[in-house]
Amino acid sequence: MPASRSRTTEWRRSLEQLRSREGAIEIAVARDGTDDEAVLGASDLVWRVRVLDLSEIEVAVDLPFALGRAVELPIGTELVGAIAIGQNRWMFRTKVIGAWQPKAPYPRTHRAVRLALPDHVERCLRRATRVDVASINLPKVEIWPLLEPRSVLPAQRASEIAFRAALAGEKATAPSDDLLPTVGPGFGATLVNLGGGGLGILVEPDDAAVLSRHRLFWIRFTLGDVMPVPVCCAARVVHTHMDSSHRIYAGVSFDFDFNPAHQRVVAEQIVHAIERLTKAQRKAA
């Protein structure tokens, strides 16, 4: 069997395995094919979405959500996708075909989308972000141990004011570092993927030890000009895993205990960024 055919067959077998155990693939809105410089220079938000159904021509996956807000993906939206099982990883291009009609055991209100099965997939390194079929520009995250949870209020309020100003067409100004909460020494990480209530980050070995000494952190990341106001909030580490390079993958959940209203702001920022990307696609079509 030719190598390319073998890889595609293995991809299909892995996808079927994911469906049988309710596993997930990763998707991001594609940014190429447009002359919008803000979109081309943006960072990618990657969602892990559960595989619900599979046919010869399409795969159904959960619609992405951000803190209770649906991330709408109109029909025709071009996506970059990836499937990862162990050390095996494939990247591909696909597009949204339409909404999925829920089947048992999922309730009728369950929201999901149908994606076209790719006609070409490419195998790559486990955390590679650029191959012939697609590329991903993962956001960098700034992280600080949060020493006093109540101190997040001024920073979150400043972030909301800046975001509302940007939506009103005013020049966006990121909040000053003088408004940082009471935090310890910071470090950097990479935002690998998003879920409905949290995110996955990859921390380099030299910074990994701090994850075992603290559980609550202040995080901040920028998506580029599609959302010029950095997304910031408290987050709690819920699980960690070391990869073969001794980097730590950490799953963290957003924490809004000391300012529940900020949950709406973070959700709106994420949804607004994705809307900017999908609108740029439709304009370029």
- What is the tens place of the pLDDT at every residue in 131-157? 565 678 899 999 999 999 999 999 999
Domains and CATH numbers, the chain: 3-124 (2.30.110.70), 140-284 (2.40.10)
More confident residue, 278 or 123: 278
Distances (CA, A) of 231 to 162, 180, 216, 266: 11, 13, 17, 6
Q: What is the mean pLDDT of residues 182-191?
A: 96
- What is the tens place of the pLDDT at every residue in 201-221? 999 999 999 998 998 999 999
Predicted confidence at residue 273, as pLDDT, reads 93
Residue indicated by tokens 């730590």: 248
- What is the tens place of the pLDDT at every residue in 32-41? 878 888 888 8
Token readout for 87 is 């050390």
Token readout for 158 is 């400043």
CA distance 206 to 245: 12
DSSP the chain: --HHHHHHHHHHHHHHHHHHTT-EEEEEE---S---HHHHTPPPP-EEEEEEEE-SSEEEEEPPEETTEE----TT-EEEEEEEETTEEEEEEEEEEEE----TTS-TT--EEEEEPPS-EEEE-TT--B-SS-B--PPEEEEEEBS-GGGHHHHHHHHHHHHHHHHTTPPP-PPPGGG--SB---EEEEEEEE-SSEEEEEE-GGGTTHHHH-SEEEEEE---TTS-SPEEEEEEEEEEEE-TTS-EEEEEEEE-TT-TTHHHHHHHHHHHHHHHHHHHHHHH-
Torsion of CA 102, 108, 113, 116, to 10 degrees: 20
Which amino acid would we find at residue 284?
A
CA distance 79 to 25: 12
Assign residue 10 a region (left: φ > 0; alpha: ψ between -120 and 50; beta: otherwise): alpha
More confident residue, 87 or 220: 220
- What is the tens place of the pLDDT at every residue in 223-260? 988 988 999 999 999 999 988 788 999 999 999 999 99
Token readout for 185 is 């020494």
Distances (CA, A) of 94 to 13, 31, 52, 56: 18, 13, 16, 14
